[in-house]
Each structure stands twice: as C-alpha cells, then as structure tokens.
Amino acid sequence: MDLKKLLDIKYPILQGGMAHIAKGEFAGAVSSAGGLGIIGSGGMDTYELRENIRALRNITDNPFGVNLMMLRPDIDELIKVLLEEDVKIITVGAGTYEKFADKFISKNIKVLPVVSSPIQIKRYEALEPIAFIAEGLEAGGHIGQMTTITLIPQAIAQTKRPIIAAGGIASGREIFAAEVLGASGVQIGTGFLFTKECPIHENYKKLLLKSNSSKVTVIGNINGIPMRVLKNKMTREYQKLERNNSTLELENFTLGRLKKAVIEGDVENGSVMTGLSVGSFNSIISVKEYIEKLMSEYKEIKNEYKNKR
Ligand SMILES: Cc1cc2nc3c(=O)[nH]c(=O)nc-3n(C[C@H](O)[C@H](O)[C@H](O)COP(=O)(O)O)c2cc1C
C-alpha cells in the first residue's frame, strides 16, 4: 500500500524523532507542511510529553507520530500518556515493544520500528508493525553497521511491509535514489536541523553550517552503541579513553551531553549529533520551504531520468 495513504500524509517524508529537539511545535510544522512530524520523547517526562502532543495539536490537525525509546524505565507511563492522548502513530527504537503489541493493534495504533539490519525486521514481523524505518549508518545519532544502500534492498527482501529509508537523505536526489532501491518513503533527521523551526541552540546551528562530512566522527565503536556526531573536545576525550582500553561505556560518558549541546549550546563538551549529509546544507530555511524543495528536486530528477530513456 502507498505510504501516503497508509499514514494519511501528503508527502512520503517523515521527520525523525530526535531527543531534546523534536518538540511539539517543530514536529507540528512538519505535519502542517504535509510531511509526518514525529515528537521525540527522549528527554521528556510524562508531563512534557503530554504538553508537547497538545502543542502540536494546537498547530495542526494533520497526522503526527511519537518516537519512543523502549528501554526507558518509565516506558509504561509514557505509553499510558500516548493512549490517553489518542496518539495514532508510534516509531520505536532502542528495545522491543513486544509487551505492548496487542494493545497497539487493538487500538489501531500504527507502529513503525526503526531498524538497522534485516534480522531485526524478522524479529518484529510477528508484532504486525505497519511499516519499517530502515536506517543506514550515514544517519546522525545512534547507528548500526549497514549503509543505506545495502540495507534498503535487503530489508525489502525480508518483508512485504513498506520500508522507509533513513540515513543520508538530504535532497530530492536521495529521495529518488531511495525509491529506486525500493523504499516507499524517507525519514530525515539531519536535514531538518537546518530549519528555522528546529529548536536547537544557535551555537549548534552555526557549527552545523560551518561543518562538512570530514568534521563528522563515530564514537562508541568499542564500548557502546556507536553514535555519529561532530568532532569536538568531548569526542577527542572519549576516543582517547577508548584507545587506552578504558571500560567506560559510551552511554555513561555521553549521558546528558545531547541536552548540553541542544539546550545550553555547549558544542565543545556536548554531543553534536549529525549525519554525513551535514555537508549538503549551507543555509537555514523554513520547514515548509525544505519539504517543498525536497519534493520539487525529487520530481525534477525523476523527470530527468525518464527523459534520458
Ligand atoms: C540530533 C539527532 C538526534 C536523534 N535522536 C533520535 C532519537 O531520539 N530517537 C530515534 O529513534 N532516532 C533519533 N535520531 C535519528 C533520526 O530520527 C533519523 O532516523 C536520522 O537522523 C536519519 O538520518 P539522517 O540524520 O542522515 O537524516 C536522531 C538523529 C539526530 C541527527
């Protein structure tokens, strides 16, 4: 089935749930522009989650989603809020949602697990998700081991459900490439950091604008779930510890560091998460302009290829 129909959205573009960043107003701007805005519940308590859902609904009646990290100790309470607020779309990462699957199905909640390997798809199939978000290692934040170009076709071979491509998608050209690979839509995180509505600290935005892919690194390859960020004092310190065989785990070392960068603007000691597409952007535009740009580039490139035949 067509992803736009499945999620009732105008464009097959999802804004990735981003902890401390994807607040109600920001995700609302994406949904009102015809994409699927996704509130990132990471960093929110139950009260804040409810407030953000309500803030989004003050902006638009269009569909939206909420991203959940299943390993959170307060996951039961967060899900209770989603049920009370009648949230209809959930994207899940970090852990399985097996315990809640029947409830979601009975309430007609559409669940989209974020996966980084075909084997994860196999594990989730029985839970009857509506689609999968397959995220390649080009993405910002926590990443898996496969590139988007290898992951998408192998994910498609694993399931009949729609696959949404994520990781490294910045322009209409990559949306077309994702379609050629067999994806039904895309999820973008990094690209949306370059928008006016994105509530990251000015220092974060300024640093992103000055950066390119050579400024990006991955930490946590040894002790932790690898994480793609911009190089800074924090990554140098962490990599030094890794070289010295420290047993310090990435999760403990980076605890609170994304908030430090996003809210406090401390881009030297904080986690400045970004994907490899960072070098594709040199200005800040509105969410609506970005989504329209993506779609017009996509159509233009698709036409160009049609005419080449
Ligand atoms: C700053 C930042 C924070 C992120 N936080 C989360 C998160 O809390 N939960 C999640 O499932 N994915 C998170 N992601 C991944 C995005 O939702 C999305 O899948 C990814 O950014 C897509 O790849 P791209 O960065 O190349 O566009 C984050 C990504 C970034 C850049």
pLDDT in tens, 286-307: 999 999 999 999 999 999 998 8
**Whole-number mean pLDDT of the chain?**
94
CB atoms within 10 A of CB 8: 12
Q: Which of 168, 116, 160, 108 is nearest to 142 (CA)?
A: 116
Is residue 53 scored above 90 in pLDDT?
A: yes
For 261, which DSSP code? Answer: I
Q: Average pLDDT of 253-266?
A: 89
H-assigned helices in 202-309 = 202-210, 233-243, 250-253, 257-259, 287-308
Residue 248 pLDDT: 67
Is residue 1 scored above 70 in pLDDT?
A: no
In the chain, pLDDT over 70 holds for what percent of residues? 98
Ligand 1 residue neighbourhood (C-beta within 6 Å): 16-19, 21, 40, 42, 67, 93, 114, 135, 138-141, 166-169, 187-191, 273-275, 277
Q: Can you tell me whether residue 178 is helix, strand or coil?
A: helix
Q: Average pLDDT of 268-290?
A: 97
Residue 224 pLDDT: 75
Q: What spacing in Å lies between the alpha carbon of 303 and ligand 1's midpoint?
A: 30
Q: What spacing in Å lies between the alpha carbon of 92 and ligand 1's midpoint?
A: 12
Give the separation between CA 170 and CA 98, rounded to whole angstroms: 33
Q: Average pLDDT of 262-289?
A: 97
Is residue 250 scored above 80 in pLDDT?
A: no
Q: Average pLDDT of 58-79?
A: 96
In the chain, pLDDT over 90 holds for what percent of residues? 87
Atom of ligand 1 at shortest distance to CA of 262? 1
Closest Cα to atom 20 of ligand 1: 189
Atom of ligand 1 at shortest distance to CA of 91? 11
Closest Cα to atom 4 of ligand 1: 18
Is residue 94 scored above 80 in pLDDT?
A: no
Atom of ligand 1 at shortest distance to CA of 200? 1
Mutate to test the pocket of ligand 1, among 13, 18, 48 (most ligand atoms within 8 A of CB): 18
pLDDT confidence of 152, banded at 50, 70, 90?
very high
Is residue 10 scored above 90 in pLDDT?
A: yes
Q: Higher pLDDT residue, 178 or 2?
A: 178
Q: What spacing in Å lies between the alpha carbon of 187 and ligand 1's midpoint?
A: 9
Residue 174 pLDDT: 98
Beta bridge partners of 39: 66
Q: Specify the residue for token string 């736009």.
A: 4
60 Cβ partners below 8 Å, 6+ apart?
28, 31, 32, 37
Is residue 126 scored above 90 in pLDDT?
A: yes
Is residue 309 scored above 90 in pLDDT?
A: no
Give the separation between CA 297 and CA 191, rounded to whole angstroms: 14
Q: What spacing in Å lies between the alpha carbon of 218 and ligand 1's midpoint?
A: 14
What are the structural domains of the chain? 3-198+280-308 (3.20.20.70), 202-278 (no CATH)
Residue 254 pLDDT: 75
Q: What spacing in Å lies between the alpha carbon of 119 and ligand 1's midpoint?
A: 21
Residue 241 pLDDT: 84
Is residue 59 scored above 80 in pLDDT?
A: yes
Beta bridge partners of 185: 164
Residue 244 pLDDT: 79
For 17, which DSSP code? Answer: P
Is residue 246 scored above 70 in pLDDT?
A: no
Is residue 96 scored above 90 in pLDDT?
A: no
Atom of ligand 1 at shortest distance to CA of 18? 5
Cα dihedral 278→187→192→150 (10° resolution):
0
Closest Cα to atom 6 of ligand 1: 18
